[in-house]
Amino acid sequence: MGSSSQQPSAPLVVRLLGYLDITFLVCTLPIFLGANLPLLGWAGGSGIYVLQRVISELLQSSANKLDDLTGFLGVMMGGVIARGFLVAIAIFGVGMIDGDAGAAAGILFLAAFTIHLTMSLIMKPYTGKKR
């Protein structure tokens, strides 16, 4: 739920809440530093999350331009599957470098994804999405 998926006239609060997950990722850096958690876990989890979120927004924009429902669903479902594989392989790769960092990256990614999903569901009436 980024700025591209919201009405331009959406209130500022609605637009800002669309980035609560990114704010969460930024706020976890001092926690990782203070708790002496692996920074590779923070960088990996945050980087993977931001990358998949950008890909999601690009796919959403591309799918919204399609006129037929079959094409829309094909792009969206293919994107979900591809992003899932991308995330799994990336977190596995971080875990191969450092097991603790892989666990931290996975937990951080899941927390950010949960925040995004929850906010998407709560803010759905205010975003103006038709599909």
pLDDT, tens digit only, all 131 positions of the chain: 444 455 556 778 878 888 999 999 999 999 999 999 999 999 999 999 999 999 999 999 988 898 889 989 999 999 999 999 999 999 999 999 999 999 999 999 999 999 999 998 888 877 666 55
131 domain-assigned:
no
State the residue range of the domain holding 14: 3-126
96 domain-assigned:
yes
**Closest-CA residue to 129 (of 50, 57, 52, 26):** 57
- The pLDDT of residue 126 is 74
**Closest-CA residue to 116 (of 56, 47, 38, 36):** 56
103 domain-assigned:
yes
- The pLDDT of residue 130 is 57
- The pLDDT of residue 128 is 64
Instruction: Tally the residues of the chain.
Output: 131
Q: Which residues lie below 8 Å from residue 94, measured CB to CB, with a gap of 6+?
A: 40, 41, 44, 45, 48, 101, 102, 105
- The pLDDT of residue 78 is 92
Tally of CB atoms within 10 A around 102: 22
15 domain-assigned:
yes
**Closest-CA residue to 48 (of 119, 99, 130, 107):** 107
For 120, phi then psi, to 5°, come to -60, -40
- The pLDDT of residue 3 is 46
| CA distance linking residue 40 with residue 105, whole number of Å | 8
56 domain-assigned:
yes
Number of domains making up the chain: 1
37 domain-assigned:
yes
